[in-house]
Amino acid sequence: MNYEEKMLLFNQNRFGIYVHFGLYSLLGRGEWTMYSERIPAKEYAKLADSFNPKPGCAEEWVETAVAAGAKYMVLTTRHHEGFSLFDSKYSDFTSVKYGCKRDIVREYVDAARKAGLRIGFYYSLLDWRFPGYFEPEKYPESKEALLKQIFGQVRELMTNYGKIDILEYDGGWDAKLRLDRPQWAEFWHAAELNAMVRELQPDIIINDRSGKDEDIETPEQVVKSGVQRMTESCMCIGDSCTWGYVRFNPNWKTPEQLIQHLVQAAQLGGNYLLNIGPCPDGSIRNEELERLQIVGGWLKENAEAIYGSQRCELIGASQPGLVDLNLQGPWTRKDNIGYWCIFRWGGSQATAVLVGTPVKKVTLLANGRDYPFDWDAKTGKLKIYDLPILPPDPLCSVIKVEFSDVPRRMEETDLADWING
Ligand code: GLC
């Protein structure tokens, strides 16, 4: 597959579920606890004996992802704490040697593959147990040992689990927080590492967090369009500071917010990776489960507006350099069809402006009915009539508009023209 084909497939999948699960889940204070509380490695390692997720938890994650309408998943195979959820010749600090003595990555891969989901691995380059990460000059042997672990483990992950679709590195930043990406890449030997990955998994998608650009950008907690590459915006359902399980986690996003993020990611031509942080026993907390089920219910009805959609240039589908917006909501598109995703329903009439392509038909996805409309070729104003007064879908109602060609935004040669009609 070439880059375009890979990205097309990636966009068709559009929506993924991220799973942050590790020893930190047992503490309930987020995945950074070891470092933020500076817990010495030996002491932290004691947690491993109590790592005992209930059998079948990976299947539960997969079932939830399917119910949410996600087409792929990404699991933290090893986070910054260094505990691997897979069998490894390069580390004994694994879920196979301690606690439950199971290969959680294998359980996840098997379940996801069976459900037809595409498979992503998150892998942290940094490992807080190695002084050589923090002070490479002072502890050169430890840095070498860390690199040996990385190369060995990434090879294991790319070899032992069949076809892997996405590799998401993390923790590639410099311990002293110098913003020099080429230097990060050099530190991790990213060129060599990624060449090995591509040899083992020729069609894989790799993110840019090793310092080397590769295929996708993965901004956190915000929906963004990529500067040069495809974007996968990743986000938490609860409070944004942690991804792993936090027992008392306030500020859960509403299903409306989650759907709006997904739509925004789609209208920018990118993907949305929504995170869950399973409980210590691997189960998914109700706050996350309920929201994902609601998102899935909405996606079922509105699938065609989201999976595999393309950027649309009509107002409300943000265009780089344009400040215009349609306050009701953005557009996505598939070839000649525009999908106006209305977050703020305006009642029985909807008006879109600067529509430069003739309109053939207007349908509401929520009820499958067609609605009368006027399109003025001169002004580009599209008025849709007799719509329901109340939002037909309280979460986000999608108006499907069939155009005679790819919908174009009408150019405004005189910005003041509209004032006098
Ligand atoms: C960050 C954090 C990490 C989290 C990740 C998710 O880089 O260090 O805890 O796993 O982003 O993308």
Indicate the pairing of strand 331-334 with strand 337-342: antiparallel
Q: How far, in Å, CA of 52 to CA of 316, rounded? A: 48
Q: Report the domain count for the chain.
A: 2
pLDDT score for 326: 65
- Taking residues 93-106, report their average pLDDT: 98
pLDDT tier at 417 (50, 70, 90 boundaries)? confident
Residues 247 and 291 in one domain: yes
Q: Looking at ligand 1, which residue's alpha carbon is closest to its atom 8?
A: 171
Which domain covers residue 411, as residue numbers? 331-420
pLDDT score for 317: 47
- Taking residues 397-410, report their average pLDDT: 96
Does residue 281 or residue 228 have the better pLDDT?
Answer: 281
Q: What are the phi and psi torsion angles at 407 (to 5°)?
A: -60, 130
- Taking residues 186-213, report their average pLDDT: 97
Quick check: is 320 in a domain? Answer: no
> CB neighbours (10 Å) of residue 287?
14
Q: Tokens for 409, please give them.
A: 């935004």
> CB neighbours (10 Å) of residue 208?
21
Quick check: is 324 in a domain? Answer: no
* Separation of CA 393 and ligand 1 centre (Å): 34
pLDDT score for 314: 86
CB-based pocket (< 6 A), ligand 1: 20, 31-32, 170, 220, 234, 243
Residues 225 and 349 in one domain: no
Q: 46 by DSSP, 3-state: which?
A: helix
Q: Tokens for 206, please give them.
A: 């790799």
Quick check: is 354 in a domain? Answer: yes
- Report the predicted TM-score, pTM, of the whole model to 2 decimal places: 0.95
pLDDT digits 0-9 by tens, 113-130: 999 999 999 999 999 999
Quick check: is 122 in a domain? Answer: yes
pLDDT at 321 over 60: no
pLDDT digits 0-9 by tens, 212-226: 999 999 999 988 877
Residues 289 and 355 in one domain: no
- Taking residues 186-190, report their average pLDDT: 97
* Separation of CA 275 and ligand 1 centre (Å): 11
Residues 352 and 223 in one domain: no
- The torsion region of residue 12 among left (phi > 0), alpha (psi -120 to 50) and beta comes to alpha
pLDDT at 323 over 60: no
Q: Could you tell me what percent of the chain has a pLDDT over 90?
A: 85
Is the distance from CB of 351 to CB of 385 less than 8 angstroms?
no
Task: Match 């147990």 to its residue by tokens.
Answer: 129
Q: Residue 151 sits in a domain of what CATH number?
A: 3.20.20.80
* Separation of CA 86 and ligand 1 centre (Å): 19
Q: Could you tell me what percent of the chain has a pLDDT over 70?
A: 97
What is the position in ligand 1's atom list of the atom closest to the CA of 242?
Answer: 9
What is the position in ligand 1's atom list of the atom closest to the CA of 209?
Answer: 7
Q: Residue 403 sits in a domain of what CATH number?
A: 2.60.40
pLDDT tier at 103 (50, 70, 90 boundaries)? very high
pLDDT score for 316: 61
Pocket residue to mutate for ligand 1, from 170, 273, 276, most atoms within 8 A of Cβ: 170
CA angle 27, 33, 36 (to 5 degrees): 155
pLDDT score for 224: 83
Q: Each residue of 77-93: b (16+ CB within 10 Å) or e?
A: bbbbbbbbbbbbebbeb
pLDDT at 180 over 80: yes
Residues 22 and 80 in one domain: yes
pLDDT tier at 319 (50, 70, 90 boundaries)? very low
In terms of C-beta distances under 8 Å and separation of at least 24 residues, what long-range contacts does 284-289 make, across chains too?
284/60, 284/61, 284/64, 285/245, 287/237, 287/238, 287/249, 287/252, 288/64, 288/237, 288/238, 289/64
- Last residue in a domain, options 270, 305, 340: 305
Nearest in space to 265 (alpha carbons), one of 293, 318, 307, 223: 223
- Last residue in a domain, options 305, 340, 372: 305
Residues 89 and 42 in one domain: yes
pLDDT tier at 320 (50, 70, 90 boundaries)? very low
Residues 403 and 262 in one domain: no
Distances from the Cα of 418 to the Cα of 265, 314, 354, 380, angstroms = 31, 17, 10, 11
Residues 209 and 296 in one domain: yes
Is the distance from CB of 225 to CB of 269 less than 8 angstroms?
yes
Residues 74 and 215 in one domain: yes
Mean pLDDT taken over the chain:
94
Q: How far, in Å, CA of 111 to CA of 375, rounded? A: 50
Quick check: is 248 in a domain? Answer: yes
Minimum mean pLDDT range among 227-241, 249-263, 394-408: 227-241
Residues 361 and 220 in one domain: no
Residues 299 and 340 in one domain: no
Q: At 35, which helix (H) or strand (E)?
A: helix 33-36
pLDDT digits 0-9 by tens, 27-69: 999 999 999 999 999 999 999 999 999 999 999 999 999 999 9
- Taking residues 81-96, report their average pLDDT: 98
The DSSP letter of residue 249 is -
Pocket residue to mutate for ligand 1, from 27, 35, 128, 243, most atoms within 8 A of Cβ: 243
Quick check: is 126 in a domain? Answer: yes
Residues 28 and 129 in one domain: yes
Q: Looking at ligand 1, which residue's alpha carbon is closest to its atom 5?
A: 170
The DSSP letter of residue 96 is T
The DSSP letter of residue 395 is S
Q: Tokens for 87, please give them.
A: 């069998």
- Taking residues 369-395, report their average pLDDT: 96
pLDDT digits 0-9 by tens, 332-344: 999 999 999 999 9
- Last residue in a domain, options 288, 305, 322: 305
Quick check: is 263 in a domain? Answer: yes
Quick check: is 323 in a domain? Answer: no
